[in-house]
Amino acid sequence: MAEPHSRAIRGRLLTFLRAPNGANDPRSYRFFDDGVVLVKDGRIDAAGPAAELTARIAPGTAIDHHGGALIMPGFIDPHIHFPQTQVIASYGAQLLEWLEKYTFVEEQKFADPAHSARNAEFFLDELARNGTTTAVAYCTAHPVSAEAFFAAAHRRNAGMIAGISVMNRNAPSGLLAPGKTAIADSRDLINRWHGTGRQRYAVTPRFAITSTEEQLSALGALLKDFPGVLMQTHLDENLNEIAAIKRLFPDDPSYTAVYRRFGLLGPRSLLGHCIYLEDSEVALLLDTQSVAVFCPTANLFIGSGLFNYGRLKSAGVRIALATDVGGGTSYSMLRTAAEAYKVMQLQGQNFPALAAFDLMTRGNAAALGLEDEIGTVKPGAFADLVVLDACATPAMAHRMEVASTLEEELFVLMTLGDDRAVRQTYIAGRPAL
Ligand SMILES: [Zn+2]
């Protein structure tokens, strides 16, 4: 007797698995030239070769045929700023000036619930258009911005992680919450949204420059009170930023040590950028199992520097890959992988396509501690999928005429692809486009 499924998704199917020797290990992925994913209650009920599974599809089940396109887990973007959709592509400034001149100005508008709600819808639409099914987002300092974001994501049944950017110094007064209010607001949002449907909370100090010691310490305590909650912040992005940290925290041995002192490092801590890490800081990240988040388009656009992937990887530090819109210049994880490849080339390192796609899906899920529910195509995981067409543009189709392997196709997708290559995005089994 066939089981009832809400949908069957058929096409060329690719997924990644944790392999002993990483992404270059042939055991690190599975590919079916004619595969199918069976969806039940928003989750994957079964996935594998169509020849084996079609018999299980109940009569009347909607079947989406994607022909030659590639079905894979939806992309995960572990560092992005939801209030910066109108900051992206702002000209000519480095980090601290860029924050003051553009970002802090735009972020103040999110005190208005209507503005927050409109931007949340735009942001989530744009993620879906780019095949991103989970993101870890910074909201503004205003609780209403997080409220709007979570409400919109919850309505879509999209698994999102977010938090209000907590600041109490070195930013405009409209974005500063006095210590206790921001902590109380964060706690209230955790109680309301962490674990509501697919939503999760991330305690979010913007960076150590914009919080006093008292506030950082309260955020560390908050993190301790809620063990499942994540933490996101920025670290070692820019030399002027690091100089400011040295002035503000003269007794701490390093920028990373500041976060450690306040209990902000750990396996659920995501640290954006990590460009200028001293050896002792690499050791701290390793020791605490914190995650270094590589944001190549932002690092190039803001002129911050080159993330040393090879160094951190060989040290054993956990690494994730993210867009960092609006310092980053594209919502597309494909474009982000292309820029990561170039940043690595400049340092004599390489980034094979299989490793890139593994990182954007399974690897980023593992960085969030969510490998069992997203970033993979396996029974029990959410049916969050992207369908990619490597022939989406004339230039891609032309290039694909001479591509003969899966790895080549993936490299064409990451080098030439963007939102135009996304044919469909499924969120919990439902088409989002
Ligand atoms: Zn950022």
- 299 alpha carbon to ligand 1 midpoint, in Å? 10
pLDDT at 180: 77
Task: Calculate the alpha carbon distances from 73 to 52, 164, 336 in Å.
Answer: 21, 28, 17
Residue range 310-319, pLDDT digits in tens: 999 999 999 9
pLDDT at 93: 81
- 116 alpha carbon to ligand 1 midpoint, in Å? 19
The angle formed by the CA atoms of residues 112, 114 and 115, to the nearest 5 degrees, is: 65
Residue range 227-245: mean pLDDT, rounded: 96
pLDDT at 27: 78
pLDDT at 3 over 70: no
* 146 three-state secondary structure: helix
Confidence of residue 430 (pLDDT cuts 50, 70, 90): very high
- Pick from 210, 151, 161: nearest CA to 182: 210
Residue range 101-154, pLDDT digits in tens: 999 999 999 999 999 999 999 999 999 999 999 999 999 999 999 999 999 999
- Pick from 356, 358, 201, 190: nearest CA to 268: 201
Q: Residue 32 burial (CB < 10 Å; 0-12/13-18/19+)?
A: buried
- 115 alpha carbon to ligand 1 midpoint, in Å? 21
Residue range 66-92: mean pLDDT, rounded: 95
pLDDT at 132: 98
pLDDT at 2 over 70: no
Beta strands 43-49 and 161-163 are unpaired
- Pick from 169, 172, 203: nearest CA to 188: 203
* 136 three-state secondary structure: strand
pLDDT at 414 over 80: yes
Confidence of residue 92 (pLDDT cuts 50, 70, 90): confident
pLDDT at 23 over 80: no
pLDDT at 400: 98
How many whole angstroms separate alpha carbon 320 and alpha carbon 1?
A: 43
Alpha-carbon 106 to chain mean position = 22
- 136 alpha carbon to ligand 1 midpoint, in Å? 10
- 12 alpha carbon to ligand 1 midpoint, in Å? 35
pLDDT at 24: 65
- 399 alpha carbon to ligand 1 midpoint, in Å? 34
pTM, rounded to two decimals: 0.97
- Pick from 42, 48, 53, 54: nearest CA to 6: 42
Amino acid residing at 2: A
- 322 alpha carbon to ligand 1 midpoint, in Å? 9
Rounded (10°) CA dihedral 324, 326, 331, 335? -70
pLDDT at 35: 97
- 16 alpha carbon to ligand 1 midpoint, in Å? 27
Task: Calculate the alpha carbon distances from 71 to 36, 68, 148, 200, 423 in Å.
Answer: 9, 9, 31, 26, 10
- 75 alpha carbon to ligand 1 midpoint, in Å? 18
Residue range 286-337, pLDDT digits in tens: 999 999 999 999 999 999 999 999 999 999 999 999 999 999 999 999 999 9
- 79 alpha carbon to ligand 1 midpoint, in Å? 6
Residue range 195-220, pLDDT digits in tens: 999 999 999 999 999 999 999 999 99
- 327 alpha carbon to ligand 1 midpoint, in Å? 7
DSSP letters, 37-94, are: EEEETTEEEEEEEHHHHGGGBPTT--EEEEEEEEEEEPEEEEEEEGGGTTTSS--S--
- 301 alpha carbon to ligand 1 midpoint, in Å? 12
- 98 alpha carbon to ligand 1 midpoint, in Å? 12
Q: What percent of the chain clears pLDDT 70, i.e. is strictly above it?
A: 98
Residue range 167-172: mean pLDDT, rounded: 92
Residue 345: Cβ within 10 Å count = 11
